[in-house]
Amino acid sequence: MHTPQLNKHRQQLNVLIENKVTFAADNSELSIYDTYQNAQKVALHSNELLFCAMLSGKKVMHVASCQYHKAFLPHESFVLAPKQGVLIDFPQASLNAPTSCLAIEISTEKINQVADALNIEQRFANDALFAYVPELVHSQHNRQTQQLLQRMVQLFSEPDEQRSYLIDLSLNELITRLLQQQSRDLLLKHSRKLQLTTPVQNALLYIEEHLSEALDIEKLCKIACMSRSKFYQQFKLAFGTSPALWQQQLRLKKAYSLLQQGRAVSQVCYELGFNCPSHFSRLFKHAFGAPPTSIAKQRH
């Protein structure tokens, strides 16, 4: 992620730990942090939501409020809730290979505006599906999110007559992606915990619990007590994707986790229902921007 203005500012090195370059806009602020030496327990917090994405290197994030202590790597997103602090280790940072991170601070008012618009547009005004929950979110983001972040760096850092308008559009998209992801995760989490039995939730849980099996749409329709067309419509409205792509995303996310634990690529491929390692590798690289063989190596 490079632009002329950004490169110019980043060359002005003021500190070796979390050297910060910032570009402000309405309702948001984009910063690039570069760290040039090994450091531990560096504090970071924000009064607003903070969406972070690793650009290079490795961080280890410590969030005392939820006993969270995990590595943060490129092609991953780490979202801090407003006023939630984190302590950061930089085990690999050096002058020749700095650890770099992008952070976008977004106002609570802006997040609520997008959530309200989504609920009205998708007919959830009376029983809101989309609402930001102030909890930590750490996940792998896909190629579309990566491309969006690259576009946002360009918009924030370079002059343009429509800068404010285009930044607002990109913020809407980023917040929508965050809210959709969080609503899915929370829906599954609370369905298990409370044993909820709404039709689409039951279908979601069935997909997750049978990841290695071929998707059986007829069975899912029976579980949801809906016709095929009604099921597709309700699923797309709630989650912004088709059941098949939802299953594929779950499989790839699970594959990412298993590879981090040191499992072999071919073993993970067949265990999760993929029939061909080369096809699995292409899907994985398209989703996360890196081949599956590289994931386990990042943890060392």
CA angle 251, 257, 262 (to 5 degrees): 120
What confidence score (pLDDT) does residue 61 get?
A: 94
Q: How far is CA 174 from the centre of its chain?
A: 9
Percent pLDDT > 90 in the chain is 44
Q: 231-273: per-residue pLDDT in tens?
A: 988 887 766 678 998 899 889 888 988 988 889 999 999 999 9
User: Hey, do 4-189 and 197-298 end up sharing a CATH topology, with the first three levels equal?
Assistant: no
**pTM score, two decimals?**
0.72
Segments making up each domain of the chain, as ranges? 4-189, 197-298
In order of 10, 104, 157, 161, 262, the CA distances from 7 in angstroms are: 5, 18, 10, 21, 36
Q: Is the pLDDT of residue 192 over 60?
A: no
What's the Cα-to-Cα distance from 180 to each of 77, 129, 176, 190, rounded to whole Å?
A: 14, 9, 6, 15
Three-class secondary structure of residue 80 per DSSP: strand
Average pLDDT over residues 146-158: 92
- pLDDT digit string, tens, across residues 99-145: 999 999 999 999 888 888 877 765 544 455 666 777 888 887 777 88
Report domain 197-298's class: mainly alpha
Where does residue 235 rank: exposed (0-12), middle (13-18), buried (19+ CB within 10 A)?
buried
Q: Determine the Cα–Cα distance for residues 296 and 243; give it in Å rounded to an integer.
A: 29
- Determine the CATH number of domain 4-189: 2.60.120.810
